[in-house]
Amino acid sequence: AMAAERALAMATCTAPVNIAVIKYWGKRDTDLILPINSSLSVTLHQDQLKTTTTAAASRDFTEDRLWLNGKEADVGHPRVQACLREVRRLARKRRGGGEDAAALSLSYKIHIASENNFPTAAGLASSAAGYACLVSALARLYGLEEELSEVARRGSGSACRSMFGGFVQWQRGERPDGSDSLALQVAPETHWPELRVLVLVVSGEKKPVGSTAGMQTSVETSPLLKHRAEVVVPERLAQMMQHIRDRDFEGFGQLAMRDSNQFHATCLDTFPPIFYLTDVSRRIIALAHRYNAHHGHTKVAYTFDAGPNAVIFALADAVAEFVEVVRRSFPPATNGDQFVRGLPVGSAALPPELEAAVLTEPVLGAVQYILHTKPGPGPQLVDDPSQHLLGPDGLP
Amino acid sequence: AMAAERALAMATCTAPVNIAVIKYWGKRDTDLILPINSSLSVTLHQDQLKTTTTAAASRDFTEDRLWLNGKEADVGHPRVQACLREVRRLARKRRGGGEDAAALSLSYKIHIASENNFPTAAGLASSAAGYACLVSALARLYGLEEELSEVARRGSGSACRSMFGGFVQWQRGERPDGSDSLALQVAPETHWPELRVLVLVVSGEKKPVGSTAGMQTSVETSPLLKHRAEVVVPERLAQMMQHIRDRDFEGFGQLAMRDSNQFHATCLDTFPPIFYLTDVSRRIIALAHRYNAHHGHTKVAYTFDAGPNAVIFALADAVAEFVEVVRRSFPPATNGDQFVRGLPVGSAALPPELEAAVLTEPVLGAVQYILHTKPGPGPQLVDDPSQHLLGPDGLP
- pLDDT (tens digit, 9 = 90+) per residue, B349-389? 999 999 999 999 999 999 999 999 999 999 999 999 999 99
Give pLDDT, residue A335: 63
Grade residue A118 by pLDDT with cuts at 50, 70 and 90. Answer: confident
Give pLDDT, residue A98: 55
A106 and A50 both lie in a single domain: yes
Return the sign of the alpha-carbon dihedral for residues B354, B358, B360, B363. Answer: negative
Mean pLDDT of A158-176: 97
- pLDDT (tens digit, 9 = 90+) per residue, A243-299? 999 999 999 999 999 999 999 999 999 999 999 999 999 999 999 999 999 999 999
Q: What is the CATH number of the domain that holds B184?
A: 3.30.230.10
Q: Which of A261, A275, A289 has its CB closest to that of B269?
A: A261
ipTM of the complex: 0.91
Nearest-Å Rg of the Cα atoms of chain A is 22
Give pLDDT, residue B125: 67
> Are A264 and B268 inside 8 Å of each other by CB?
yes
Domains: count for chain A: 2
> Are A262 and B289 inside 8 Å of each other by CB?
no
Gap between the Cα atoms of A51 and B154, Å rounded: 60
| C-alpha closest to that of B146 among B94, B84, B101, B97 | B94
**Residue A66: how many CA atoms within 13 Å on its side-chain side?**
14
> Are B269 and A265 inside 8 Å of each other by CB?
yes
> Are B269 and A285 inside 8 Å of each other by CB?
no
B19 and B41 both lie in a single domain: yes
Q: Which of B232, B269, B289 has its CB closest to that of A262?
A: B269
Checking if the pLDDT of A121 tops 70, the result is: no
A169 and A253 both lie in a single domain: no
Interface test with A, best of B207, B217, B224, B284 (most A CBs within 10 A): B224
> Are B272 and A262 inside 8 Å of each other by CB?
no
Give pLDDT, residue B100: 56
Residue B392 falls within a domain, yes or no?
Answer: no
Residues of B with Cβ-Cβ distance to A227 under 8 angstroms: 223-224, 227, 231
Helices assigned H by DSSP within chain B: 78-95, 127-141, 149-155, 211-221, 223-227, 233-245, 249-268, 279-295, 319-329, 352-358
Could you list the beta-strand ranges (E) of chain A.
8-16, 18-22, 27-29, 34-35, 39-43, 50-58, 65-68, 71-73, 109-116, 167-170, 183-187, 195-202, 300-303, 310-315, 340-342, 367-373, 380-381
Identify the three-state secondary structure at position A361.
coil
Mean pLDDT of A341-366: 95
Residue B396 falls within a domain, yes or no?
Answer: no
A290 and A241 both lie in a single domain: yes
Give pLDDT, residue A106: 86
Give pLDDT, residue A207: 61
Give pLDDT, residue A2: 42
Q: What percent of chain A has pLDDT over 90?
A: 86
Instruction: Give phi and psi for B53, each to the nearest 5.
Output: -135, 135
Report how many Cβ contacts below 8 Å link chain A to chain B.
74
Residue A279 falls within a domain, yes or no?
Answer: yes
| Cβ neighbours of B216 (radius 10 Å) | 15
Mean pLDDT of A300-306: 96
- pLDDT (tens digit, 9 = 90+) per residue, B100-158? 545 678 889 999 999 998 776 556 768 999 999 999 999 999 999 889 999 999 999 99
Instruction: Give phi and psi for B141, each to the nearest 5.
Output: -60, -40
Mean pLDDT of B155-169: 97
**Mean of all residue pLDDT scores within chain B:** 93
Give pLDDT, residue A101: 44
> Are B282 and A275 inside 8 Å of each other by CB?
yes
Gap between the Cα atoms of B345 and B323, Å rounded: 8
- Chain B: closest CA distance from residue A278 (Å): 6
B87 and B165 both lie in a single domain: yes
Which residue type occupies A366? A
Residue A393 falls within a domain, yes or no?
Answer: no
Angle at A393 between CA A388 and CA A395, to 5 degrees: 65
> Are B272 and A285 inside 8 Å of each other by CB?
yes
**Given the DSSP bridges, would you call strands B109-116 and B65-68 parallel, antiparallel or unpaired?**
parallel
Give pLDDT, residue A259: 98
Interface test with A, best of B262, B276, B302 (most A CBs within 10 A): B262
Residue B395 falls within a domain, yes or no?
Answer: no
Mean pLDDT of B67-75: 95
Checking if the pLDDT of B1 tops 70, the result is: no
Evaluate whether B303 touches B256 at the Cβ level (below 8 Å). Answer: yes
Give pLDDT, residue B204: 65
Judge if the upstream peptide bond of residue B188 is cis by omega within 30 degrees of 0.
Answer: no
> Are B231 and A227 inside 8 Å of each other by CB?
yes
Checking if the pLDDT of B99 tops 60, the result is: no
Interface test with B, best of A227, A235, A266, A269 (most B CBs within 10 A): A269
Residue A228 falls within a domain, yes or no?
Answer: yes
Residues of A with Cβ-Cβ distance to B278 under 8 angstroms: 279
B203 and B296 both lie in a single domain: yes
Residue B57 falls within a domain, yes or no?
Answer: yes
Checking if the pLDDT of B341 tops 90, the result is: yes
Identify the three-state secondary structure at position A194.
coil
More confident residue, A119 or B313: B313
- Chain B: closest CA distance from residue A227 (Å): 7
End-to-end CA distance of chain A: 30
Residues of A with Cβ-Cβ distance to B231 under 8 angstroms: 223, 227
In DSSP terms, A11 is beta-bridged to A55
Evaluate whether A34 touches A62 at the Cβ level (below 8 Å). Answer: no
Give pLDDT, residue A3: 44
Q: Which of A254, A265, A278 has its CB closest to that of B224?
A: A265
Give pLDDT, residue B205: 60
> Are A282 and B275 inside 8 Å of each other by CB?
yes
B347 and B199 both lie in a single domain: yes
- pLDDT (tens digit, 9 = 90+) per residue, A5-32? 567 899 999 999 999 999 999 999 999 9
Cα→Cα distances A174→A34, A82, A157, A227, B81, Å = 9, 21, 16, 18, 58
- pLDDT (tens digit, 9 = 90+) per residue, A363-378? 999 999 999 999 999 9
- Which residues in A have their CB inside 8 Å of a CB on B? 221, 223-224, 227-228, 231-232, 254, 257-258, 261-262, 264-266, 268-273, 275, 278-279, 282, 285, 289
Closest CA in chain A for residue B293: A272
Q: What is the DSSP letter of A267?
A: H
B158 and B228 both lie in a single domain: no
A161 and A19 both lie in a single domain: yes
Residue A64 belongs to domain spanning: 3-188+382-387
Mean pLDDT of B324-333: 94
Evaluate whether A35 touches A157 at the Cβ level (below 8 Å). Answer: yes
Grade residue B2 by pLDDT with cuts at 50, 70 and 90. Answer: very low
- Chain B: closest CA distance from residue A235 (Å): 11
A146 and A290 both lie in a single domain: no
B313 and B252 both lie in a single domain: yes
Return the sign of the alpha-carbon dihedral for residues B214, B216, B217, B221. Answer: positive
> Are A268 and B272 inside 8 Å of each other by CB?
no
Residues of A with Cβ-Cβ distance to B272 under 8 angstroms: 285, 289
Q: What is the DSSP letter of A39?
A: E
Torsion of CA B277, B281, B283, B286, to 10 degrees: -80
Gap between the Cα atoms of A388 and B7, Å rounded: 99
Gap between the Cα atoms of B36 and B25, Å rounded: 8
Q: What percent of chain A has pLDDT over 70?
A: 93
- Chain B: closest CA distance from residue A274 (Å): 9
- Chain B: closest CA distance from residue A317 (Å): 24
Residues of B with Cβ-Cβ distance to A289 under 8 angstroms: 272
> Are A224 and B262 inside 8 Å of each other by CB?
yes
- pLDDT (tens digit, 9 = 90+) per residue, A127-137? 999 999 999 99
Residue A213 CA from chain centroid, whole number:
18
Return the sign of the alpha-carbon dihedral for residues B54, B59, B64, B67. Answer: negative
A168 and A299 both lie in a single domain: no
Closest CA in chain B for residue A266: B265
More confident residue, A119 or A396: A396
**Given the DSSP bridges, would you call strands A183-187 and A167-170 parallel, antiparallel or unpaired?**
antiparallel
Interface test with A, best of B23, B237, B261 (most A CBs within 10 A): B261
Residue B159 falls within a domain, yes or no?
Answer: yes
Closest CA in chain B for residue A260: B269
Q: Which of B227, B258, B273 has its CB closest to that of A261?
A: B273
Give pLDDT, residue B102: 54
Interface test with B, best of A217, A218, A236, A262 (most B CBs within 10 A): A262
Residues of A with Cβ-Cβ distance to B279 under 8 angstroms: 278-279
Gap between the Cα atoms of B302 and B200, Å rounded: 10
- pLDDT (tens digit, 9 = 90+) per residue, A50-96? 999 999 999 999 999 999 999 999 999 999 999 999 999 999 888 76
